[in-house]
Amino acid sequence: MAVLVFAESTEGTFKKATREAVYFASKIAETIGKELITLVMGTVADDQLAGLGKVGAGKVLHVNDSRFDRFDSGAFAKAVAEVAGKVQAQVVVMPFSANGKALGPRLSARLKAGIVPGAISLPETNGAFVVKKSVFSGKAIAHFVIKTPVKIISLNPNSIQVTTVDKTATVEPITVSVQDSDFKVQVIGQEKEAQGVPLPEAEIVVSGGRGLKGPENWGMIEELAKVLGAATACSRAVSDVHWRPHHEHVGQTGLTIRPNLYIAIAISGAIQHLAGVSGSKYIVVINNDPEAPFFKYADYGIVGDAFEVVPKLTAAFKKYFESNN
């Protein structure tokens, strides 16, 4: 019996969400007294695989098959299910990423396993196996009991704090009985986002709304983000009028993010937008309307004109970092 974590790789590396999932799985294994086994599929260098030991991995099983360099939920589900059976996995963990969202339900059907997507904390294991997740756009916390022998959990990014250790994982090859016909998805092209901090991975996010009046004013958002090492985001209204690309849209119909710090500039705080950012650890709101709904959810707020406040804030941060470096 074991805890199996699917460590999703991207172009031979592991993103923060994957490292969090491995650490999360290691804590579950520790709690229920089972071995942790980490599964990696696709082309990944040995040092990257061994490096997963820093976030809790002990044994890494590597399916070194280049067909898994591109994600196909059907083929991946078949492979993960096969390995889960071989290691007699009692709990299967994966990141709640775009790929994890596609993989989880297929794997649940194959393993006849209960699944909780988007967990936000370690499960309770005294008696029942209880998993918590946010519901109703982050307004409530639901407690789900998984009763099936095999349990699947995907972890919401930025839900736990990872503590690294000075350790390397052991790596063992493993093969799976997946045929070429199992890969149904054909990738005909790729468009990569511009360089910078990927929004789902960002610890700090600076976001703007329609109150900025036009795309020509976005320079101050980008400058503040650059000073803070942050990613930039926007409301749906902004992406709908093409001031900013759609991949920066956060909210109910865009990305859901959980950064440590979310700075909302000239965004009123509609419920649809809050649904995508309410999991942020700290929220700072800058708006010239003191009645803006966003202030009700803010940890800190500044009532003022963004065109006056943001440049002063950027200058203050620059001065602080320069004096502390």
Residue type, 204: I
Note the pLDDT of residue 195: 66
Mean pLDDT of the region 267-277: 90
Do residues 40 and 49 lie in contact, with contact meaning Cβ atoms separated by under 8 Å? yes
Cα 205 to Cα 243: distance, rounded to the nearest angstrom: 17
| pTM of the entire predicted model | 0.82
pLDDT of residue 248 exceeding 80, the answer is: yes
Least trusted range by pLDDT, from 101-110, 141-150, 248-257: 248-257
Residue type, 39: L
pLDDT of residue 190 exceeding 80, the answer is: no
Closest alpha carbon to 22 in 118, 132, 164: 164
Backbone angles phi, psi at 135, to 5 degrees: -135, 170
For residue 107, give both structure tokens: 């794997």
> What number of CA atoms fall less than 13 Å from residue 200's CA on the CB side?
16
Cα 36 to Cα 22: distance, rounded to the nearest angstrom: 9
Note the pLDDT of residue 194: 64
pLDDT in tens, 217-247: 999 999 999 999 999 999 999 999 999 999 8
Least trusted range by pLDDT, from 38-52, 89-103, 269-283: 269-283
3-state secondary structure of 265: strand
Note the pLDDT of residue 159: 86
pLDDT in tens, 28-83: 999 999 999 999 999 999 999 999 999 999 999 999 999 999 999 999 999 999 99
% of residues, the chain, pLDDT over 70: 99
Do residues 63 and 41 lie in contact, with contact meaning Cβ atoms separated by under 8 Å? yes
